[in-house]
Amino acid sequence: ARAEAPTTTAAAALPVQQLVFGQGAGKQPAPEYPLVAQDARQEGVVSVRFVVAENGRVTAAEAVAPSPWPLLNDSALRTIRNRWRFCAGQPR
């Protein structure tokens, strides 16, 4: 999954960082690869834009370049929203 942060209008003046899953600040848990998608041999990349609050939690996430497979998109979004955490504090 590829991700960018932040995106809200209020956050428009804040810095945007591009993260690539498994590299640098993007070392976060991998999305689950749904068994149904595996069985159907569905593969793809989901680009996600998300907002991180000062407490380090993701407050919003959207697929800006989804894969053609809804199961993969849903898994990526769910993982980023629920499991990704960043250092608390002001944006750098």
Q: What is the pTM of this model?
A: 0.76
pLDDT value of residue 8: 46
Cβ(51)–Cβ(8) below 8 Å = yes
Mean of pLDDT values over 7-11: 47
Mean pLDDT of the chain: 83
Mean of pLDDT values over 40-54: 94
Mean of pLDDT values over 7-25: 63
Q: List, edge to edge, every strand of the sheet that includes 47-52.
A: 17-20, 2-5, 47-52, 58-65
Cα separation, 20 vs 27, in Å, equals 8
